[in-house]
Structures are given as C-alpha cells and as structure tokens.
Amino acid sequence: MTDSLTIRRPDDWHLHFRDDAVMKGVVPFTARQFARAIVMPNLSPPVTSVEGCVAYRDRIQAAVPAGVDFTPLMTAYLTDGVDGDELARGFAEGVFTAAKLYPAHATTGSAHGVTDIAQIMPALEKMASVGMPLLIHGEVTDSHVDIFDREAVFIERTLSGLVRNLPELKIVFEHITTADAAAFVDASGPNVAATITPQHLHINRNAMFAGGMRPHAYCLPVAKREVHRLALRKAATSGSTKYFLGTDSAPHAQSAKESACGCAGIFNAPYALESYVTVFDEEGALDRFEAFASENGPRFYGLPLNEGTITLERGETRVPDTVDANGTTIVPFHAGETLGWVYRG
C-alpha cells in the first residue's frame, strides 16, 4: 500500500477568489496547496477590461502570505459584443490567461453573461487565432429544461456546434458533471479538455437531500445521479490527458448558504488535495494523480510545469465544521468529516 505520495506542485485550473475582505481570507487556503490558479472573473461588476484585471490581480497578489510562491492566472468575463482585439491584447500582455463564457443567468454572477453564442463569434474567432483558451460554464439557461439536464442539453444545443465550427479554438469544458460531458470530451479532438471538481467526484444528487435539505452540497452545475459520478471518477482517473484538476472552490458566507434561497457554490479550497487524493486512492489510481493535478492542465494551456514537489501522506485530516475567512464564517466541503490523507506541503 502506498502511504506517501510526492508529486510535482499542482495547480487549480478553476476557482473563485471573490474580492475585498473575503478574498483576503480565502487566497491563503489556495496558496498553501497550489502553485497557480485560474481565477474566475464573476465579480460584481465582472472583470472585463485589461486594466480592471491587472488591478484585481494586484489585489490577489497582495493577499498571498509573505514567503508563499503563488501566481494567480486571470480570466476575462465574456459579454455580448465583447471586443476580440481587447481580449487578444490582454492575452498578449500576459494579463488574461483565458476568457470565461457564462451563459447569461446560468449561475452566480452571470447576469452580464452571453445571451447567445452568436453574439461573441467574432471574439471567439480572434481567440482561436491567437491560441487563447475559452473556458465554458456549460449549461443552458432555459427554465423549461430540467436543471439536471441542462449540461447535456448545452452540449447538444451549443457546444457540439461550436467545436464543429471552430475546431482550432481551445476549450475547457469546466466542472463537468455528467457521463454525457465526459463522453463528449473523450470523443472530441485535442483542443477540448475538462476540469472536474472534488465534489462531483464525491457526491451525487442525494447528498442535497440526505435527511433534509443540505445547502452545503449545492453548487452549479448541480450534482447528478450516481451513474454520472461514477463516469466522472472513471474519466478523472483514466489517465486521459484531457482531464485536470479544477476545484471550482466558491466561497459563500454560511449565512448566505443557509437561507431560504441559498447561494450555489461549495468552498473546497482548504482541503482540496486531501479530497481529490482520496478519490484516486479509492479508485486504485494514485499513480495517475500527478498527471491530473500537475501535468495535464499546464500542458493544455501551453504553460510550463511547476518546479518543486508536495507530499501527501496517509493519516487523519479532521475537517472543521467552519473556517474563518478574514471575518467571514464559511462551511468547507467535507465539514465534520475525517479524510484519510494529510497534506504535508
């Protein structure tokens, strides 16, 4: 039995840092475990300009604890009529690493998102021509479509056509939650990849209703049936280079989650590696964890792999009921559980 796993330093290819006081509280959790992270731009107002993005990046960097080596990789928020030249300028200047497509009203902070992909085709063509990746929240927003079907319907209605029409565009299908999404990614060419969150590897939709309503198991895209969770575990641990680590860590105050209309999002940053490695261990795939956590992401993005290593050891990590993020109380993923791996740094 492997009791200790040393891997190249990993990155988190999708998360939310927010801004202001709570940002100062959550950045250290990620900086403790990851060398880099792709930072989502769904602030209020969203990050759309190069200058606004530089300022946000500076605020994040100021929140990294002294002596910790961590680099935020920034993203642009796509709106209808976005200027492709501005995106390309931000990409060329090393400010934007990628751009994020939120279908309008799909999730938290998506009110300014894209109403129809046709609106942004010129910008997507420009991105394809300069090699700038497109990150997609892949759900339709049509309220007539059952919430559990919105990802699969998005593939049919939007994503398959986009990949067909613009095959040279690099696309990350973010936080996939279905067997349909994994099958789509597997069947697509090398320009289509996906991130998978820890929660979608650990829980199915029953977790939201176990003995009562469980707001801390609610995120978007929402967890699906067990058959989908199993397909995601298979994809993540398959050894395919198309899948990589992206936590979608999404901090919301405990009070905003435990409410008549609780926010979507699971805060998994504090114990992200312990959570993922548990899945790879359970699947007998510890030897594939390094590629998923530390290699597939940078290779897809065309970025260098990190230097240095981190170590995870078998042992007990007791996850607290709540964590303090600079004055905001947040319930972390796995609250109250004990995980069987310890992060040693």
**Binding mask 245-284 vs Zn ion (x if CB under 5 A, - otherwise)?**
---x------------------------------------
Note if 116 is an active site residue. no
Task: Provide φ and ψ at 164, rounded to 5°.
Answer: -65, -45
Binding ligand DOR by CB under 6 A: which of 108, 119, 241, 326? 108
- For ligand DOR, give the closer residue by CB, 16 or 216: 16
3-state secondary structure of 265: coil
Q: For the chain, how many residues are written?
A: 345
Binding ligand DOR by CB under 6 A: which of 8, 9, 14, 16? 16
Quick one: what does residue 135 bind among Zn ion, ligand DOR, none, with the CB cut-off 5 to 8 Å set by partner type? none
Quick one: what does residue 219 bind among Zn ion, ligand DOR, none, with the CB cut-off 5 to 8 Å set by partner type? ligand DOR
| Residue 8 makes contact with ligand DOR by CB under 6 A | no
Six token digits for residue 208:
């939201």
Q: Which residue's C-beta sits nearest to Zn ion?
A: 248
Backbone Cα Rg of the chain: 19
Tell me, by CB under 6 A, how many residues bind ligand DOR: 11
3-state secondary structure of 8: strand
| Residue 151 makes contact with Zn ion by CB under 5 A | no
Torsion of CA 184, 142, 112, 243, to 10 degrees: -20
Binding ligand DOR by CB under 6 A: which of 38, 194, 220, 293? 220
Six token digits for residue 119:
């609106």
H/E run at residue 160: helix 160-165
Torsion of CA 104, 18, 171, 87, to 10 degrees: 80
Residues 222, 202 contacting (CB under 8 angstroms) = no
Six token digits for residue 342:
């310890």
Residues 287-326 that bind Zn ion (CB under 5 A): none
Residues 245, 268 contacting (CB under 8 angstroms) = no
Stretch that binds ligand DOR, among 72-80, 104-112, 226-234, 286-294 (CB under 6 A): 104-112
How many CA atoms within 13 Å lie on the side-chain side of 170? Answer: 15
Residues 227-266 that bind ligand DOR (CB under 6 A): 250, 264-265
Residues 31, 56 contacting (CB under 8 angstroms) = no
Q: What is the β-pairing status of strands 328-330 and 323-325?
A: antiparallel
Residues 142, 154 contacting (CB under 8 angstroms) = no
Q: Which of 11, 12, 180, 248 is catalytic?
A: 248
| Residue 137 makes contact with ligand DOR by CB under 6 A | yes
CB of 81 to ligand DOR, least distance (A): 22
- For ligand DOR, give the closer residue by CB, 108 or 238: 108
The verdict on whether residue 14 carries a ligand-binding annotation is yes
- For ligand DOR, give the closer residue by CB, 109 or 270: 109
CB of 139 to ligand DOR, least distance (A): 8
Binding ligand DOR by CB under 6 A: which of 33, 48, 71, 107? 107
DSSP state letters, 294-344: IIHHHHHHT-PPPPSEEEEEEEEEEPPS-EEETTEEEPBTTTT-EEEEEE-
Known binding residues are 14, 16-18, 42, 100, 137, 175, 220, 248, 252, 264
**Residues in the site for Zn ion, rule: CB under 5 A?**
248
Known binding residues for substrate are 16-18, 42, 137, 220, 252, 264
**Residues in the site for ligand DOR, rule: CB under 6 A?**
16, 42, 107-109, 137, 219-220, 250, 264-265
List, by residue number, the catalytic residues. 248
